[in-house]
Amino acid sequence: MSQDTLIDEAGVPQYKLPDLFDGKPNPQYWADRRRELLETFAEHVYGRTPLEAPEGGWGPTVRSREAAPFAEATRIQFRIQVGPPGNRHAVALLLYLPEKRKGPVPVFLGLNFSGNHTIHTDPGISLPESWMFPWDGTGVVDHRATEAGRGTRAHRWPVERILERGYGLATLYCGDLAPDQQGHPRISSFRELFAPAPDPQSEWGNLGIWAWSLSRAREAISALAEVDAHRIIAIGHSRMGKAALWAAAQDPLFAAAISNNSGCLGAALSRRKFGETVAKISKGFPHWFCPRLSTYAEREEQMPVDQHMLLALIAPRPLYVSSASEDLWADPRGEFLAAVEASAAYRLFGHEGIAGTEFPEVEAPLHGDRIGYHIRRGTHNMLRYDWERFMDFMDKQWE
């Protein structure tokens, strides 16, 4: 964190959030307002998701279906092919399902940073064929995945426990469609499958493409009889939390969304300027957003949206926001306050959301009516503690 990063609550400027309802806080108006907000996030923050299918279309195929070498679980691997021969892209999608189930199961679906093989030591998970970001300790050599990467991010994905609690887990590597590197040629060749955005300032960035891939993965797993297509939960940590929120905002068939430590331009309010700011993120990670975003550097108060509006787009579906006490870069309090503000949209549907504005104690989860929040002790990560709380909350949604 550079010296000019605000990490002291006393330095938070006075701010006024843009009105969620544009002066018309009634249910009749919400569908139109919602559409308008989606447009505004597309135009100014994440870029436009093309409405048409990509050239050459897309389609999933099941590549393997086997017993997993642990617990009582099935491992299913898909390949989702996108684009025509000559400009082909492919996503590898991994799904674990618990064997003990009474009917179709709810599934957590999230992007991973470092390849499907990093979420578990299971030797049957196919190694990614894509360009890999060389995250520390993930066994990447010359931007390629190797056997050494297996299970290196298992602490973020407690697979056996998730299955034991009756959920399925599906994941895909973010870099399969859009490598996490500014200017990577695969990003532009993927974009070429679609007509360009009418306004180049709102061309989609990686977060838009990642969100798009989450929806394609949702469709792929929905087709299986063992999966409850009405209970697929978009989940993500940090930049993947931003993508999960944007995916669930756009795709109403996601039943719920979970943002873990998603921070700036995820769940945190931008106008607080606490931790990472719009200037810092658009300089550090310009490829995640549409080009117009950078015009709001140091001008958060001019943005037509703030992040409580993104959370409100999930309403009335269950929403969970989680923070970590030492993750000041992601502004835990700003994440909490956005969830509090988004509660107004839930109230339009007769759900309280989070009542009150008092910031909860560390590891004292606040599970409100359709919105849950907790702050875990420790650093930026997604750990077993977080998963247990997500599942406690989700269990209650479908009693």
Of the two residues 256 and 281, which places its CB atom closer to ligand GCU in the complex?
281
**Segment interacting with ligand GCU, rule: CB under 6 A, options 118-126, 144-152, 276-284, 355-363:** 276-284
37-56 residues near ligand GCU, rule: CB under 6 A: none
Q: Which of 176, 203, 251, 276 binds ligand GCU (CB under 6 A)?
A: 276
CA distance 64 to 345: 42
CA distance 341 to 311: 9
Q: Which of 206, 215, 238, 282 binds ligand GCU (CB under 6 A)?
A: 238
Query: In whole angstroms, how close is the CB of 171 to ligand GCU at the nearest point?
Result: 16
Of the two residues 128 and 263, which places its CB atom closer to ligand GCU in the complex?
263
The DSSP secondary structure of 284-328, one letter per residue, reads H-GGGS-GGGGGGTT-GGG-S--HHHHHHTTTTS-EEEEEETT-G
263 is an interface residue for ligand GCU by CB under 6 A: yes
Of the two residues 239 and 374, which places its CB atom closer to ligand GCU in the complex?
239
Q: Which of 76, 264, 310, 354 binds ligand GCU (CB under 6 A)?
A: 264
Cα Rg, the chain, nearest whole Å: 20
Overall residue count recorded for the chain in this entry: 399
Q: What residues are annotated to the active site?
A: 238, 380
Of the two residues 173 and 329, which places its CB atom closer to ligand GCU in the complex?
329
Of the two residues 221 and 321, which places its CB atom closer to ligand GCU in the complex?
321
Query: In whole angstroms, how close is the CB of 240 to ligand GCU at the nearest point?
Result: 7
Q: Are strands 256-260 and 319-324 parallel, antiparallel or unpaired?
A: parallel
Please name the residues in contact with 79: beta carbons below 8 A apart, sequence gap of 6 or more: 60, 61, 63, 90, 91, 92, 93
CA distance 94 to 110: 10
331 is an interface residue for ligand GCU by CB under 6 A: no
Exposure pattern of 88-99 as b/e (b: 16+ CB <10 Å)? ebebbbbbbbbe
Query: In whole angstroms, how close is the CB of 20 to ligand GCU at the nearest point?
Result: 24
Of the two residues 2 and 14, which places its CB atom closer to ligand GCU in the complex?
2
281 is an interface residue for ligand GCU by CB under 6 A: yes
Query: In whole angstroms, how close is the CB of 261 to ligand GCU at the nearest point?
Result: 7
239 is an interface residue for ligand GCU by CB under 6 A: yes
Residue 249, H or E segment: helix 239-250
Query: In whole angstroms, how close is the CB of 157 to ligand GCU at the nearest point?
Result: 15
Number of neighbours of residue 378 by Cβ within 10 angstroms: 14
CA distance 231 to 394: 10
Query: In whole angstroms, how close is the CB of 50 to ligand GCU at the nearest point?
Result: 25
Count residues near ligand GCU (CB under 6 A).
8
Tokens of 281: 């993120």
Query: CB burial class (10 A; 0-12, 13-18, 19+) of residue 298?
Result: exposed
- Give the CA angle between residues 334, 27, 247 to the nearest 5°: 50
Binding site for ligand GCU (CB under 6 A): 238-239, 263-264, 276, 281, 284, 329
